[in-house]
Amino acid sequence: MKTIMITGATSGFGEATARLFAKNGWKLILTGRRKARLEHLQDELGGVSNVHICCFDIGHRQAVEQAIYSLPDTFSKIDLLLNNAGLALGLEPADETNLDDWDQMVNTNIKGLMYCTRTVLPIMKQLGQGYIINIGSVAGNWPYPGGNVYCASKAFVRQFSLAIRADLLGSGIRVTNIEPGNAETEFSDVRFNQDKQRADKVYQNTVALTAQDIAETIYWLANTPAHMNVTIMEIMPTQQATGPLAIYRE
């Protein structure tokens, strides 16, 4: 039985992925900051024998290391690490943004990704195989007004994925960066500080991606042949596309 570790498993892509992999017989290590949600998923998806939960802030290095180093023996061989935890906060221009929001995005989207990857990699190296799937964003490739640090953090995820892929050549460990576009999850609720009306407008009169779409993509990747590595996968809704470069006119 294979084991997947999912960061940010309490909602969105992470929760949908947990449900899909549990349905298909995988053991789960689920992390997040909302203990009640983690406990609910554990109970629903197989109990303590199939689901191990770790409640901590991924931006704290010692908490990440302690959680991974103290895994029970039955969960200690991680086959797939899904670096899913991430968030956007605010949509203000750079000169008006809240620096605390910038700090939190860096801590979660960049530092958390680094800490989990660095701590899990030796486990995979010892096994001689493994798979790291990172959740980036089209925002890492196509910046937009108000994206500032969020866009920069997802550009980091892309380059980090490419760089560790280069480091791991010959190790048997695969690396993929998935870059979703507009997806209807709790993402906008978090970005706009639970302003539901504002968040709903992001998905109004269009058909966005769903968390299930991304979960099924992750599951497909996990089941590709070991000799095949999908390096980068950009996924947009059919009703979303890149546009022309902006030009300021007097």
pLDDT tens profile 109-147 = 999 999 999 999 999 999 999 999 999 999 999 999 999
| CA gap 136, 133 in Å, rounded | 9
Residue 217's φ and ψ, nearest 5 degrees, are: -65, -45
Average pLDDT over residues 200-208: 93
Q: Residue 186: name the closest of 10, 6, 47 by CA.
A: 10
Burial of residue 55 (CB within 10 Å: 0-12, 13-18, 19+) is: middle
Q: pLDDT class for 205, splitting at 50, 70, 90?
A: very high
Which stretches within 128-210 are classed as H helix? 148-167, 187-191, 196-201
Q: pLDDT class for 195, splitting at 50, 70, 90?
A: confident
Average pLDDT over residues 190-202: 89
The tokens describing 149, both together, are: 């640090």
Q: pLDDT class for 27, splitting at 50, 70, 90?
A: very high
Burial of residue 1 (CB within 10 Å: 0-12, 13-18, 19+) is: exposed
**Rg, the chain, Cα only:** 18
Average pLDDT over residues 80-97: 96
Q: Which domains does the chain have, with CATH numbers?
A: 3-181+212-235 (3.40.50.720)
Q: pLDDT class for 186, splitting at 50, 70, 90?
A: confident
Model pLDDT for residues 170-185, shown as the tens digit of each residue: 999 999 999 999 999 9
pLDDT of residue 41: 97
pLDDT of residue 215: 98
| CA gap 17, 14 in Å, rounded | 5
Q: Helix 12-23 to helix 211-222 angle, to the nearest 10 degrees?
A: 50
Q: 249: how many CB neighbours lie within 10 A of its CB?
A: 3
pTM of the model: 0.96
Q: Long-range pairs for 189-197 at CB < 8 Å and ≥24 separation?
A: 190/87, 190/88, 190/89, 191/87, 191/88, 191/89, 191/90, 191/91, 192/90, 192/91, 193/89
CB 202 within 8 A of CB 161: no
- CA angle, residues 237, 212, 190, in degrees to nearest 5: 80
pLDDT of residue 130: 98
Looking at every residue in the chain, the average pLDDT score rounds to 96
| CA gap 132, 55 in Å, rounded | 21
One of 150, 203, 219, 248 is an active-site residue; which one?
Answer: 150
Burial of residue 241 (CB within 10 Å: 0-12, 13-18, 19+) is: exposed
pLDDT of residue 75: 97
Catalytic-residue membership of 150: yes
